[in-house]
Chains A and B, each alone.
Chain A
Amino acid sequence: MLVFESMAKPLLFAHFISGVIILATLVHLIWRAVDYLRGRAGQRLNVWLHAVVLAIGYAVCFVTGAMVYPTFRVRVRADHFDQAIPWATGLFETKEHWASLGLPAVLGVLLLASVLARTEADDRRRVLPLLLGLAVISLGIVGYNVWAGWYLTTLHGI
């Protein structure tokens, strides 16, 4: 029995649901940040709220993914993907590394969104380019990871 193998399916479900939640949160966060840039000042607090939801959701998604990984590594990747469809391993390896790269990006979104919530208008403008850039990178990472996770599960579940 592998570590966390007995809980792998519920963990995978929580991993998927939290992935979908952070994907939706990122779309809304970017939408509201762009709205704020276009002059709707009230959106700044919504950006902060979405950044908090994003950070919590990303932490849940990351930890549940890390817990499922040993089961996936042995029962799916080693036993099936590496032998029969190695191109699928390439999709998965990219997914796991991009998930790690999302950590500093999401932390940056959270820190910079706190500037929107608590400082003067001039200061808020200074952090918006990096905030939006990190949010777009996070959206790319999460979008790919949700798609790859879903697609790989259709090929072979745990």
Chain B
Amino acid sequence: MNRADYLLLISAAVALTFSAAYYFQPPAPRYYPVEHAWKMEHEKGVPSMGWYGRTAWGLAAGTAAGALTALGLLAVPRDANGHPRRLPAWLGTSLSLLVLVVLVALAAQIMHHEFHKWGTYQPWQLPGS
């Protein structure tokens, strides 16, 4: 596979898989900073952090997808003239567009979810104002 297409496909695989894992949030341990403990349960009323586990899932899934894509593409044979194969231009463009749309959509979904949940869309009032 041509080097540019090879790296484009790996980048796309990492970004799309990371995004999917981050969005679907497979079960992961939460960190309880006051107790210095990791637990699978989400105990209400106690400060805990699910971000480490969620990010670790995204990184693990993205890394696995990138490595599998890299290995898989190494097996693609050269063309009849002995040149590395190239991705059709339309496919490279479509894939690039898909990656960008997915990342922007996920960022917007996260922001809307958090702003709605915590009242950030409401006027920002400070205590005593």
Contacts and interface: CB of A to CB of B under 8 A. Distances in A.
Interface of A: 2-3, 66, 69-71, 73-74, 77-78, 84-91, 93-94, 96-98, 100-101, 103-105, 107-108, 111-112, 114-115, 118-119, 123-124, 126-127, 129-130, 133-134, 137, 140-141, 155
Given A85-B125, A129-B96, A130-B99, A97 B33 contact: no
Given A87-B124, A126-B92, A130-B8, A104 B15 contact: yes
Nearest to B118: A90
Given A74-B34, A130-B100, 12 more contacts: A70-B33, A70-B49, A85-B124, A91-B120, A93-B117, A104-B19, A105-B15, A107-B11, A126-B89, A130-B11, A134-B100, A141-B107
A77 B49 CA distance: 11
B83 interface: no
25 contacts: A2-B33, A70-B33, A85-B127, A87-B125, A89-B118, A91-B120, A94-B111, A97-B51, A97-B110, A97-B114, A98-B111, A100-B58, A101-B106, A103-B62, A104-B14, A104-B18, A104-B19, A114-B7, A115-B3, A124-B4, A127-B7, A129-B96, A130-B11, A130-B99, A137-B103
B119 interface: yes
Contact of A100 (B54, B95, B120, B125): B54
A90 B119 contact: yes
B117 to A, nearest CB: 7
Contacts, number: 144
Contacts of B110: 94, 97-98, 101
A73 B54 contact: no
Contacts of A134: 11, 15, 99-100, 103
Contacts of B81: none
Nearest to B5: A126
Shortest beta-carbon contacts, A-B, top 8: A90-B118, A90-B120, A123-B4, A130-B96, A70-B33, A108-B11, A104-B15, A93-B114
Interface string B53-70: 011001100100000000
Contacts of A107: 11, 14
Contact of A96 (B34, B51, B96, B127): B51
B77 interface: no
Contacts of B55: 100, 103
